[in-house]
């Protein structure tokens, strides 16, 4: 009996220990002191993943506060965020991509009115607020610019050819000139030693946002401007879709790649085609610099052109500038964690290490007034500054008003079908205009 009891006690003990170990492991991930708070940042930008991790490590060294940085793979941010937010150790800091993104996550957004990142905004009106304007919920931390990145050296080679459509990049101020130059390059691609005028317009999910979102912004911008639209309209007319078609045709017909292969082309394909000097033009933004630099195209040869679609008055059009990177602090985290996160962000925008990393390593233009001595050296950012100095009007980022991801996907897939020749342009028009009305209705019915 005694022996039995001893065995039973032993067995029960083993089970209890192993279970408590397993359960404890689920409960708390970090062993550090919880009262000091900790930071868990779910980062949106894969191209800056390592820079953020280095910055986090530097902060931990300096202050002893735990900072975890997790980066979602390209195109999977919403997925990752949704599952991470359901965990007990949810991100204390995450990102939304603008007003439409904030609408999804507003229940999780803490008030940022008294934070350093709000106080230091050069223009406080760019922060996103709650519906009644009583709370500041999301703050942009980087202003970005996109357009058509070009290779100056290759372009100059083309300009030197007899019969070139232009003799200097300054002459490219409209769609017609851009088209003539691109077609000229395509016709002379063997002389110039390139595979095509434009990089592949890939429709893999890592790349298709360049066309269904960023390119689609241009016709949207002109339509909003004509109609005086400021918020998110319930319906759109598609006034400038012919221009959208023209520029898209230019991309796919004067490129390194057959249109029937576009469905499998990734952003890496496009980046490497440009970085290795196989194409002259590449539609992307300032963030692409990290992937281009250090390859065969030197920094001095990098420039950026506005995306022209043949709209009236486009001679004065500048690059497309805005933000879809807004910081949001999770109001469901503990007070200590929220405070730790605010302190971390203050450090990021005021300390030397933080400012150096944001401006120089990551190459960002930030909207904060603390960056006086830290101006970006990113040549693509400098290209934007030149356009602004020349008095050109920057195109705004209106794609943050697009009704849903589904709308973008609809447009993207219709564009791909059109490019492959398995669909026609009417499908794009319908995905654009009718899709907008449908998705707007659905998104608001489900809000």
Partner 1 sequence: MKRTLIRWGWLFTGPTLIAFMIGFVVPFVLGVYLSFTRFTTVTNSTWVGFDNYLGVFADGTFVHSLWYTAAFAIVTTVVINVAAFAVAYMLVKAFRGANLFRSVFFMPNLIGGIVLGYIWMLLLNGLLGIWARSITFSATYGFWGMVALMCWQQIGYMMVIYIAGLQSIPGELIESAEMDGASRSQTLWNIIIPLVMPSITVCTFLTITNGFKMFDQNLALTNGAPSRLSELLALNIYNTFYARTGFEGVGQAKAVVFLLIVAVIALIQNRLARSKETQA
* Interface residue list for partner 1 (CB under 8 A): 11, 15, 18-19, 78-79, 82, 85-86, 104-105, 107, 203, 205, 258, 260-261, 263-264, 404-406, 409, 413-414, 416-417, 420, 422, 442-443, 446-447
Report the distance separating Cα 292 and Cα 231, nearest Å. Answer: 35
**Tokens 């950026």, residue located:** 304
**Smallest separation, CB 412 to partner 1 (Å):** 9
Separation between Cα atoms, residue 53 and residue 67, nearest integer Å: 9
278 versus 417: smaller Cβ distance to partner 1: 417
User: CA-to-CA distance for 104 and 110, rounded, in angstroms?
Assistant: 14
Nearer to partner 1, 171 or 406 (CB): 406
Q: How far is the CB of 22 from partner 1 (least distance, A)?
A: 9
Helix (H, G, I), strand (E, B) or coil at 318: strand
In sequence order, what are the beta bridge partners of 69?
Answer: 41
Answer for the pair 411, 419: CB distance below 8 angstroms, yes or no. Answer: no
- Could you tell me the smallest distance in angstroms from the CB atom of residue 84 to partner 1? 9
Nearer to partner 1 by C-beta: 38 or 106? 106
Minimum CB separation of residue 19 from partner 1 in Å reads 7
Contact 375/384 with Cβ under 8 angstroms?
no
Q: Which is nearer to partner 1, 159 or 209 (CB)?
A: 209
> At its nearest, how many Å lie between partner 1 and the CB of residue 308?
28
**CB under 8 Å to 433, separation ≥6 — which residues?**
235, 236, 237, 238, 241
Helix (H, G, I), strand (E, B) or coil at 68: strand
- Tokens matching residue 24: 């404890």
Beta bridge partners of 139: 327
Find, among 411, 387, 408, the residue nearest to 399 by Cα.
408
CB 70 to partner 1: min, Å: 16
Alpha carbons 409 and 405: distance in angstroms, whole number: 6
Residue 84 or 299 with smaller CB distance to partner 1: 84
| CB of 49 or CB of 261, closer to partner 1 | 261
Residue among 137 and 383 whose Cβ is closer to partner 1: 137
> At 436, phi and psi to the nearest 5?
-60, -50
Residue 423 CB, nearest approach to partner 1 (Å)? 8
């Amino acid at each position: 009996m005694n022996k039995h009891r001893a065995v039973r006690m032993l067995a029960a003990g083993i089970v209890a220990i192993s279970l408590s170990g397993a359960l404890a492991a689920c409960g708390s991930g970090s062993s550090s002191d919880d009262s000091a708070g900790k930071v868990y940042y779910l980062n949106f930008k894969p191209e800056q993943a390592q820079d953020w991790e280095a910055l986090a490590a530097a902060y931990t060294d300096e202050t002893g506060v735990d900072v975890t940085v997790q980066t979602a793979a390209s195109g999977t941010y919403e997925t990752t965020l949704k599952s991470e937010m359901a965990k007990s150790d949810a991100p204390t800091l995450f990102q939304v991509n603008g007003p439409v993104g904030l609408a999804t996550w507003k229940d999780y957004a803490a008030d940022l009115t008294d934070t350093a990142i709000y106080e230091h905004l050069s223009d406080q009106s760019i922060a996103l607020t709650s519906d009644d304007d009583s709370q500041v919920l999301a703050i942009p931390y980087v202003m970005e610019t996109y357009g058509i990145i070009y290779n100056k050296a290759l372009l100059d080679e083309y300009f030197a050819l007899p019969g070139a459509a232009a003799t200097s990049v300054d002459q490219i101020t409209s769609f017609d000139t851009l088209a003539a130059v691109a077609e000229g390059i395509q016709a002379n691609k063997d002389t110039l030693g390139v595979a095509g005028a434009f990089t592949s317009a890939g429709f893999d999910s890592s790349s298709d946002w360049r066309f269904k979102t960023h390119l689609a912004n241009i016709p949207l911008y002109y339509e909003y401007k004509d109609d005086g639209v400021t918020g998110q309209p319930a319906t759109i007319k598609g006034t400038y879709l012919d221009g959208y078609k023209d520029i898209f045709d230019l991309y796919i017909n004067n490129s390194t790649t057959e249109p029937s292969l576009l469905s499998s082309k990734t952003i890496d394909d496009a980046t490497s085609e440009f970085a290795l000097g196989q194409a002259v033009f590449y539609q992307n933004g300032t963030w692409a610099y990290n992937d281009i630099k250090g390859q065969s195209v030197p920094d001095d040869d990098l420039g950026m052109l506005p995306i022209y679609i043949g709209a009236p008055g486009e001679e004065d059009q500048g690059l497309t500038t805005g933000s879809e990177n807004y910081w949001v602090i999770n109001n469901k985290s503990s007070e200590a964690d929220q405070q730790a996160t605010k302190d971390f962000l203050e450090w990021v925008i005021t300390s030397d290490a933080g400012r150096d990393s944001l401006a120089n390593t990551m190459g960002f233009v930030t909207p904060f007034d603390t960056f006086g001595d830290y101006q970006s050296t990113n040549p693509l950012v400098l290209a934007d500054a030149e356009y602004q100095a020349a008095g050109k009007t920057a195109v705004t980022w209106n794609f943050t008003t697009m009704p849903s991801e589904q709308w973008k996907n609809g447009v993207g897939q219709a564009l791909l079908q059109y490019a492959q020749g398995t669909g026609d342009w009417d499908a794009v028009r319908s995905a654009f205009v009718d899709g907008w009305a449908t998705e707007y209705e659905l998104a608001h019915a489900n809000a």
